C-alpha cells in the first residue's frame, strides 16, 4: 500500500471541482452521496458517487466508477469520506459534465474515513493511488471542512447531535420565504411545477412550491436560486407544470414581477420517492437546508441525500391532512392574484369571447382598411395566416405558433382552422354560428383537463394577422 513514506516521483496536480473541464483530472474531494455497487448490463459492476469540495459552494459533481470485479470498487462507507482520484475522465453528457472512472483508462482511487477523530489512514485499498504528505494535508483540510458548522454538506448531523431538542421541534413549520441562510427547516406547501432530467443524466428533481403570498417583512432577504440559474438547467421536456398556479405565483416569469414560488432541489433517494408526484399536490418537507449561492448572492433550498437521517423526508398530503393555515394562505393568495380575463392593457383590440365568435365576420367587415394597418380592401377577407396562443394582458409571457396550437388541439385542429376560415370569409349567419360551435368544441378538447380557459379571437391592428388568445378565466 502506498503511504506518505513512499513518495511518488512527482507531486500530482489536483483540480478544484469548480474548475473541472472535459479531459482527465486528479481530484481530492468529499463524498456527498453514494449508491452501493450494482450489476451492469454486461459482466461488470458500477458505483455512483457524488463528490464535492469548498469550490462548489454546496453543489456536487457526479462520478460513475465501473469494474469487472465488485471487490475493486472503492470501499466508501459513509458520506463525508474523502477520496483521492487519479486520472478521472470527465466528459459532457447531454449538456452536463460527469466523471467516469475505470481501470482500463488508468483510473485509481483511495478512500479515507471522514470522521474527525479518525487516523489519516485509508480504508483497505482496491485500486489505491499513491499520495504524499501534501495530499494528506488536503485530506485533513477537507475532513475538517466537512465537519465544520459552516460546511453546506450534511452538517446537520452535528447540530442534531449537539441539540437533541431539535427532534421535538421536527413538526414546527416555517414559511418558506422567511428562511435564513445556513438554516435547516420544515415547511408545508403546494407544488407548482416539477423539473426532472433524463434518467441517464441525473436522478435529481427540482420541486417548485408556494405557500401563499410572501410576508412583507422578508423583502430584505436574498432572492431564491432558481432552476434557470443552473449552468445546465433541465430541458422543458422534463417539465410538469400547473398553468393556473404558474399564473398566480408568476413562476418563471420575468424578474420584473415577484415570483411567489420557490425552487427546492431534491437529491438522490428523496427524488425517487416523489417520482409520481403531480403539480397541485400538497407536500410537507422535513429537514430542508438553505445554503448561500454566489455571483449573484442568492438563497438555495435543498433536500440532501444520504437517507432519512434527522427526519429528512417528504410527505404527500391531501386537503384533509394539510394544515388549515396553509389552505387559507393559498386561498388568500389566489384571491389577491386572480388571473386577468380581459385584455384591458390593449384597449385598441376588439376582443370577442367564444360565445360570440360567430359575429367576428360582421365586426371585421365593418372595419376600414386603414384601421387594420396595411391591409387592402381586396385582402381584408383573407383567412388568418397564423394562429397564436397568448395572454394579451401581459401576465402570461407565452406565445405559441400555429404548429404549437396544432400540437395542443391535435386532431381537432383542421376543423378549427376551417371554421375560422368560414367565419372570416363571410359565410351566412347560420354557417358562422355552426362554425363557432365547432370552434368551441375544438377549443374545449384542447384545454379540457389542462386549464379553465376562454377562447378569444382578436384583430391585430399592427399587421394582417388574426390571433387566437387564451386567457385563464
Residue 8 in domain:
no
Residues of the chain with pLDDT > 90, as a percent, come to: 28
216 and 328 housed in the same domain: yes
pLDDT of 420 over the 70 cut: no
115 and 192 housed in the same domain: no
pLDDT of 27 over the 90 cut: yes
276 and 168 housed in the same domain: yes
Helices (H) and strands (E) in the chain, counts: 9, 17
281 and 404 housed in the same domain: no
Residue 236 in domain:
yes
Taking only the tens place, the pLDDT of each residue in 85-125 is 999 999 987 678 999 999 889 999 999 988 887 888 888 76
- Give burial (CB, 10 Å; 0-12/13-18/19+) of 164: exposed
Is the distance from CB of 35 to CB of 45 less than 8 angstroms? no
Please report which confidence band the pLDDT of residue 263 belongs to, taking 50, 70 and 90 as the band edges: very high
61 and 131 housed in the same domain: yes
Of 149-163, 283-297, 366-380, 432-446, the range with the lowest mean pLDDT is 366-380
243 and 165 housed in the same domain: yes
Residue 29 has a pLDDT of: 97
Residue 61 has a pLDDT of: 93
Residue 232 has a pLDDT of: 79
Higher-pLDDT residue of 388 and 328 is 328
* Positive/negative CA dihedral, 36, 41, 42, 48: negative
Higher-pLDDT residue of 277 and 469 is 277
Residue 280 in domain:
yes
Residue 342 in domain:
no
Please report which confidence band the pLDDT of residue 373 belongs to, taking 50, 70 and 90 as the band edges: very low
Residue 15 has a pLDDT of: 96
50 and 145 housed in the same domain: yes
Q: Chain-wide mean pLDDT for the chain? A: 72
Reference 250, options 226, 271, 266; nearest CA is 226
382 and 261 housed in the same domain: no
| 453: number of Cβ within 10 Å | 23
Residue 346 in domain:
no
Could you list the residue range(s) of the whole structural domain that residue 454 is in? 351-472
Higher-pLDDT residue of 467 and 69 is 69
Residue 265 has a pLDDT of: 94
Residue 423 has a pLDDT of: 63
Residue 43 in domain:
yes
Of 373-377, 450-454, 455-459, the range with the lowest mean pLDDT is 373-377
405 and 332 housed in the same domain: no
Of 263-277, 330-344, 355-369, the range with the lowest mean pLDDT is 355-369
State how many domains the chain has: 3
Residue 268 in domain:
yes
Annotate 62-104 with three-state secondary structure.
Answer: EEEEEECCHHHCCCCCCCCCEEEEEEEEEEEECCEEEEEEEHH
Is the distance from CB of 34 to CB of 47 less than 8 angstroms? yes
Is the distance from CB of 381 to CB of 360 less than 8 angstroms? no
293 and 162 housed in the same domain: yes
178 and 253 housed in the same domain: yes
Please report which confidence band the pLDDT of residue 340 belongs to, taking 50, 70 and 90 as the band edges: very low
Residue 10 in domain:
no
180 and 123 housed in the same domain: no
Coil, helix or strand at residue 146: helix
- Domain end: 336, 365, 394, which one? 336
pLDDT of 415 over the 70 cut: yes
Residue 347 has a pLDDT of: 38
Pairing verdict, β 205-210 and 183-196: antiparallel
- Domain end: 150, 177, 202, which one? 150
Residues forming beta bridges with residue 84, ordered by sequence position: 28, 110
**C-alpha–C-alpha distance, residues 46 and 38, integer Å:** 6
Residue 400 has a pLDDT of: 37
- Domain end: 275, 309, 336, which one? 336
**C-alpha–C-alpha distance, residues 78 and 91, integer Å:** 26
Characterize 219-248 residue by residue with b for buried, 16 or more Cβ atoms within 10 angstroms of its Cβ, and e for exposed. Answer: eeeeebbbbeeeeeebeeeebebbbbbbbb
Residues forming beta bridges with residue 49, ordered by sequence position: 34, 63
Is the distance from CB of 419 to CB of 436 less than 8 angstroms? yes
Amino acid at each position: 500500500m502506498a503511504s506518505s513514506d513512499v513518495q511518488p516521483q512527482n507531486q500530482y496536480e489536483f483540480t478544484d471541482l469548480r474548475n473541472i473541464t472535459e479531459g482527465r483530472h486528479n481530484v481530492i474531494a468529499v463524498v456527498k452521496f453514494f449508491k452501493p455497487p450494482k450489476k451492469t448490463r454486461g459482466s461488470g459492476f458500477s458505483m455512483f458517487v457524488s463528490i464535492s469540495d469548498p469550490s462548489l459552494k454546496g453543489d456536487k459533481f457526479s462520478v460513475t466508477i465501473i469494474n469487472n470485479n465488485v471487490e475493486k470498487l472503492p470501499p466508501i462507507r459513509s458520506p463525508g469520506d474523502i477520496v483521492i482520484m487519479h486520472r478521472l475522465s470527465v466528459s459532457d453528457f447531454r449538456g452536463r459534465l460527469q466523471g467516469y472512472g475505470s481501470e482500463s483508462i488508468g483510473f485509481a482511487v483511495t478512500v479515507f474515513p471522514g470522521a474527525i477523530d479518525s487516523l489519516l489512514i485509508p480504508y483497505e485499498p482496491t485500486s489505491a493511488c499513491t499520495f504524499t504528505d501534501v495530499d494528506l494535508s488536503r485530506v485533513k483540510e477537507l475532513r475538517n471542512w466537512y465537519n465544520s458548522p459552516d460546511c453546506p454538506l450534511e452538517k446537520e448531523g452535528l447540530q442534531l447531535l449537539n441539540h437533541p431538542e431539535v427532534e421535538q421541534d421536527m413538526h414546527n413549520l416555517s414559511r418558506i420565504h422567511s428562511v435564513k441562510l445556513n438554516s435547516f427547516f420544515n415547511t408545508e406547501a403546494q407544488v407548482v411545477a416539477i423539473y426532472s432530467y433524463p434518467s441517464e443524466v441525473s436522478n435529481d428533481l427540482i420541486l417548485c412550491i408556494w405557500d401563499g403570498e410572501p410576508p412583507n417583512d422578508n423583502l430584505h432577504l436574498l432572492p431564491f436560486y432558481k432552476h434557470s440559474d443552473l449552468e445546465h438547467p433541465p430541458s422543458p421536456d422534463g417539465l410538469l407544470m400547473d398553468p393556473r398556479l404558474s399564473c398566480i405565483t408568476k413562476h418563471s416569469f420575468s424578474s420584473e414581477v415577484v415570483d411567489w414560488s420557490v425552487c427546492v432541489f431534491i437529491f438522490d433517494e428523496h427524488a425517487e420517492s416523489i417520482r409520481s408526484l403531480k403539480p397541485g399536490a400538497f407536500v410537507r418537507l422535513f429537514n430542508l437546508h438553505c445554503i448561500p449561492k454566489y455571483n449573484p448572492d442568492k438563497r438555495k433550498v435543498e433536500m440532501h441525500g444520504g437517507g432519512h437521517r434527522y427526519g429528512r423526508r417528504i410527505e404527500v398530503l391531501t386537503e384533509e391532512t394539510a394544515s388549515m393555515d396553509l389552505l387559507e394562505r393559498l386561498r388568500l393568495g389566489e384571491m389577491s392574484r386572480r388571473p386577468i380575463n380581459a385584455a384591458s392593457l390593449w384597449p385598441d383590440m376588439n376582443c370577442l369571447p367564444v360565445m360570440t365568435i360567430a359575429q367576428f365576420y360582421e365586426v371585421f367587415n365593418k372595419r376600414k382598411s386603414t384601421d387594420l394597418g396595411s391591409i387592402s380592401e381586396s385582402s381584408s377577407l383573407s383567412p388568418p395566416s397564423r394562429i397564436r396562443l397568448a395572454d394579451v394582458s401581459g401576465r402570461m409571457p407565452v406565445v405559441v405558433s400555429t404548429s404549437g396550437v396544432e400540437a395542443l388541439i391535435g386532431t381537432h385542429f383542421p376543423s378549427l382552422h376551417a371554421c375560422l376560415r368560414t367565419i372570416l370569409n363571410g359565410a351566412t349567419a347560420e354557417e358562422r354560428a355552426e362554425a363557432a360551435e365547432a370552434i368551441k368544441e375544438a377549443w374545449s378538447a384542447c384545454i379540457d383537463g389542462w386549464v379553465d380557459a376562454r377562447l378569444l379571437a382578436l384583430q391585430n391592428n399592427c399587421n394582417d394577422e388574426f390571433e387566437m388568445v387564451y386567457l385563464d378565466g
